[in-house]
Chain A
Amino acid sequence: MSPSGVALTLIFAIIAVATGVGLLAGRHRKMDLEQWTVGGRGFGVVLTYLLMAGEVYTTFSFLGASGWAYSRGGPALYIMAYLTLAYVVSFFTLPAIWELGRKYGLQTASDFFGQCYGSKYLAAFVCVVGMAFLVPYVQLQLTGLGIIMEVASSEGIHRAPAIVIGVALVVSFVLASGVRAVAWVSVLKDSLMLLAAVAIGIGVPYVHFGGIGKMFAALAHARPAHLTMPGATRNLGHAWYLSTVLLTSLGFYMWPHSFASAFTAKSADTLRRNAVVMPLYTLTLAFVLFAGFTAVLVAPGLANGDMSLLTVVRSTFPAWFLGVIGGAGALTAMVPAAIFTLTAATLFAKNLYRPLFAPAMTDDQVGRVARLMVVVLSLIALYFAIYSSTTLVSLLLLGYAGVTQFFPGVVLGLFWRRAAMRAVFAGMVAGVTIVASLALTKRDPIFGLNAGFVALCLNFTIAIAGSLVSAPHPPSIRAETRYN
């Protein structure tokens, strides 16, 4: 068999095993809406940990992080800082979100806003924004799948057909099994990913330079500016780093799927303990960055930095190893893509379609609409994945700029009695508008700062100032009545 044949066979074998595990996990359980979306709210430390980790290590951390280390250099370090700090933030926010979720049976981020502020329009707005900014995140995963197939087949399979195959796999996986399956496949995915990252991060520099230290010494000698900020860019300096780390660490759990994963935990204490341990998981990323930095000298001149990790793996290791890495990479794209489409589809059916168009729908019917939406959303992301050429990290940063606009509403709603619905709503609309307009006119970063961060500051200001000038409302509005 040709080298690319070996690699591709292994990749598909790994995908097949993972899909089998997923289907097995979904058997013997009645799939009502709560079971399908939050796994019956009965996940302990281990499953919650796996599910949360399952969402963290995506194609972004695998191909995207190494891609930025290769093409941008120093600015890629922001990834290590923001992931670690995101858990510190979650230590304070998630337990409170969970409490509210248990008390009122909440399943989605949109439910949360509806409950907190008693407005179905705010809930619908959160739903639309959450879905809109999940699309680039799904797109990122699909693009990653395409890159993996492209490199593994030695450019024999083109990206578009590879992405189409990936979408078909993701959709059938989600429809068959729901969130529990996703959590279990995460186990397989994360162990493979961990092995792959360490093997690549140590192996590639060793083969080409005789060790990590020698690789960095050579790189510091050949391209001294590449390892610090702004690296190979002109505008990603320290101000950008600071604003981006703040934006993304605050926004990490604002993703609709992360929000939903908080509801799957067994207790608030589970979430606190998770927040303590999870940063250690970020260490994996150091190895991924090592590989990206090695590629700067080993495989210079790649048009697409996101292909750098797999390109050096292909030129360093035997074909079967590329197959294993490719399989691990494929799972790091498929599992998150499954989680994201699952979340976005549930949001649509439960928080937009039912309250606004068909209030009489049963949970079963909501489930059916959600399943249909999984297909629709995957096709939208597929379209963008085929017709756009943004780097993986830029896609993620766009999503973050959008979803972090929920943060003021969440924190103020949880911890500040005076937070007023209209002020929070206005702040959020302003934030999202700024993000969308700056992104569409390609003016991010602006004044050396992350555009999403600038929007977040304005959002916070409006929400706080607006709440201060509006009349204080009786606290009972928020805590006692059950919304919807």
Chain B
Amino acid sequence: MFKRPSLGAMLLALIPFIAMCFSVSFWDRVQPMLFGIPFNLFWLILWIVLTPLFTLAAYRVESARTKKEGETR
């Protein structure tokens, strides 16, 4: 049995899911083309680059929590 991840980290992780998965009908179109790439493909490429930022933030949240618990122990 493990400590569940914090709510903050999970909410941060939810953002890429909303952007790349749940909102598909909003961005699945060809126009406007950006840098010569269809909009849907561009959107996904953009979020491949942005996703690590959100997991990095989640990483910070989780390690701050672990540290805090280590001190109180």
Contact = CB atoms under 8 A, between A and B. Distances in A.
Interface of A: 74, 77, 80-81, 84-85, 87-89, 91-92, 96, 99-100, 211-214, 216-217, 220, 224, 227-229, 238, 241-242, 245-246, 249, 272-273, 275-277, 279-280, 282-283, 286, 289, 414-415, 417, 475, 478-479
Contacts of B55: 87-88, 91, 275-276, 279
Most-contacted residue by chain B among A81, A84, A87, A229 (CB, 10 A)? A84
A80 B45 contact: yes
Given A89-B13, A220-B33, 17 more contacts: A74-B28, A81-B44, A85-B21, A88-B16, A91-B9, A92-B5, A211-B36, A216-B33, A227-B40, A228-B30, A242-B21, A242-B22, A280-B52, A283-B48, A286-B41, A475-B1, A479-B1
Q: A-B pairs with the 8 shortest C-beta distances?
A: A213-B36, A81-B20, A96-B2, A276-B55, A80-B44, A245-B21, A279-B51, A227-B38
Contacts of A220: 30, 33, 38
A410 to B, nearest CB: 12
B37 interface: yes
18 contacts: A77-B41, A80-B41, A80-B45, A84-B47, A84-B48, A84-B51, A88-B51, A92-B5, A216-B33, A216-B36, A216-B37, A217-B36, A220-B30, A227-B40, A229-B24, A245-B20, A276-B56, A280-B52
B37 A213 contact: yes
A275 B36 CA distance: 30
B37 to A, nearest CB: 6
Contacts of A96: 2
A220 B39 CA distance: 12
Most-contacted residue by chain B among A81, A220, A238 (CB, 10 A)? A81
B16 A84 contact: yes
Contacts of B59: 91, 272-273, 276
B30 to A, nearest CB: 5
**A-side binding surface: helix, strand, loop or mixed?**
helix
Given A99-B2, A212-B36, A415-B2, A228 B45 contact: no
A40 B32 CA distance: 52
B2 A77 contact: no
Nearest to A241: B24
Contacts of B48: 80, 84, 279-280, 282-283, 286
Contacts of B51: 84-85, 87-88, 279
B52 A279 contact: yes
Contacts of A475: 1
B4 A224 contact: no
Nearest to B36: A213
Contacts of B28: 74, 228-229, 238, 241
B30 A227 contact: yes
Interface in B30-73: 30, 33, 35-38, 40-41, 44-45, 47-49, 51-52, 54-56, 58-59, 62
A81 B20 CA distance: 6
A124 to B, nearest CB: 24
A77 B10 contact: no
Contacts of A479: 1
B33 A217 contact: yes
Contacts of B16: 84-85, 88
A88 B13 contact: yes
Given A77-B41, A276-B52, A92 B10 contact: yes
Contacts of A87: 51, 55
Nearest to A116: B1
A334 B13 CA distance: 34
B36 to A, nearest CB: 2
A211 to B, nearest CB: 7
Nearest to A219: B38
A84 B30 contact: no
A344 B19 CA distance: 35
Contacts of B62: 272
A289 B41 contact: yes
Contacts of B9: 91-92
Contact of A77 (B33, B44, B49, B58): B44
B18 to A, nearest CB: 11
Contacts of B41: 77, 80, 227, 286, 289
Nearest to A211: B36
Nearest to B35: A213
B50 to A, nearest CB: 9
B17 A88 contact: yes
A217 B33 CA distance: 9
Most-contacted residue by chain B among A74, A92, A246 (CB, 10 A)? A92
